[in-house]
Amino acid sequence: MLLPVIALGGNFMGMCRFSKISLVVAALLSTPVVANAADITRAPFYQPYPVPIVYDWTGFYVGGHVGAGWTGGAGDGGFLGGGQAGFNYQSGRWVLGIEGQMSATTIKDTTSVGFFFAPGLAFGSVTAESRLDWISTLAARAGWAFDRWLVYAKVGGAWTHVSFDVSASVSSIAGSAIAAAWTDRTFSGWMIGLGAEYALWDNWTAKVEYNMMDFGNDFVTDNAIHVVKAGLNYRFRL
């Protein structure tokens, strides 16, 4: 009576072992399926694009410049050098501002005229020279920024102080004579300009600019003054 029970117990133990092995195999086989299901439900990961660095032109600035100038006629030109100060405000790509500058110059214009009183009796000449001692402008500025590049135009008022020298000489059969006179005057007018500026570092910028100034018909040369200059600015961040 005990033998059947023992045989039955042996079969029962074998079945338990077989069931445990089957569960382990089923678990191993189902692991990739669970992992794949987790991959399907997981949100995709996107690497964000780097934010482009945009230079901000807003702020007060001061700087200096050097350049050359000439008149619209056949007169002489000269050099100039000085300083400027201004303020920029940037909105989007637009940069609006105001700038004042003052330059000492060696620009001059010379005119000479010869004359005869009577053929062979007397002759002479008159020479007039005007020197621009300084030039000053105050102008509104509007530009378009390309990150570190700024292209701009400006328009405003202009002032210059001019010194005049006039000399005359006469030669005749009776002898020679020389006369001279000098005076000075400040003229006012208007100006326009075009330029480009580049941000070298966070606070330093370099620029190249062209200005045309007109002081009206009572100006000594009755011609516009043209100036080309290069400069450096230091900007104070707000």
Confidence check: pLDDT of 66 > 80: yes
**For residue 136, is it within any domain?**
yes
pLDDT in tens, 76-126: 789 999 999 999 999 999 999 999 999 999 988 777 776 666 665 666 777
Q: Assess whether 31 and 140 both reside in one domain.
A: no
Confidence check: pLDDT of 236 > 90: yes
Q: Assess whether 17 and 64 both reside in one domain.
A: no
Q: Assess whether 132 and 195 both reside in one domain.
A: yes
Total domains present in the chain: 2
pLDDT reported for residue 145: 96
- Full residue range of the structural domain in which residue 35 is found: 1-46
C-alpha to C-alpha distance for 121 and 132, rounded to whole angstroms:
38
Percent of all residues in the chain with a pLDDT value above 70, rounded to a whole number: 68
- Mean pLDDT in residue range 210-214: 95
**For residue 52, is it within any domain?**
no
Q: Assess whether 81 and 197 both reside in one domain.
A: yes
Confidence check: pLDDT of 211 > 80: yes
**For residue 26, is it within any domain?**
yes
**Sequence-separated (6 or more) residues with CB below 8 Å from residue 93:** 144, 145, 146
**For residue 99, is it within any domain?**
yes
Q: Assess whether 38 and 116 both reside in one domain.
A: no
Cα 133 to the center of its chain, rounded Å: 28
Lowest mean pLDDT among 26-30, 52-56, 181-185, 192-196: 26-30
C-alpha to C-alpha distance for 11 and 4, rounded to whole angstroms:
11
φ/ψ (deg, to 5) at 208: -130, 135
**For residue 1, is it within any domain?**
yes
Q: Assess whether 111 and 214 both reside in one domain.
A: yes
pLDDT reported for residue 51: 47
pLDDT reported for residue 2: 42
Say which residue, 21 or 173, is predicted with more confidence. 173
Q: Assess whether 42 and 113 both reside in one domain.
A: no
C-alpha to C-alpha distance for 133 and 108, rounded to whole angstroms:
9
CATH of the domain at 179: 2.40.160.20
pLDDT reported for residue 177: 75
Confidence check: pLDDT of 161 > 80: yes
Mean pLDDT of the chain: 79
Q: Assess whether 100 and 19 both reside in one domain.
A: no
Confidence check: pLDDT of 178 > 90: no
Q: Assess whether 207 and 114 both reside in one domain.
A: yes
* Per-residue CA distances from 155 to 97, 99, 193 (Å): 11, 10, 6
Are 70 and 80 a contacting pair, CB within 8 Å? Answer: no
pLDDT reported for residue 33: 46
C-alpha to C-alpha distance for 138 and 152, rounded to whole angstroms:
15
Lowest mean pLDDT among 24-28, 75-79, 81-85, 158-162: 24-28
Q: Assess whether 39 and 79 both reside in one domain.
A: no
**For residue 51, is it within any domain?**
no
Q: Assess whether 29 and 63 both reside in one domain.
A: no
Q: Assess whether 65 and 121 both reside in one domain.
A: yes
- For the whole model, what pTM was predicted? 0.69
pLDDT bin (cut points 50, 70, 90) of residue 169 is confident
Secondary structure (DSSP) of 198-238: EESSSSEEEEEEEEEEE--TTSTT-S-EEEEEEEEEEEEP-
C-alpha to C-alpha distance for 72 and 15, rounded to whole angstroms:
113
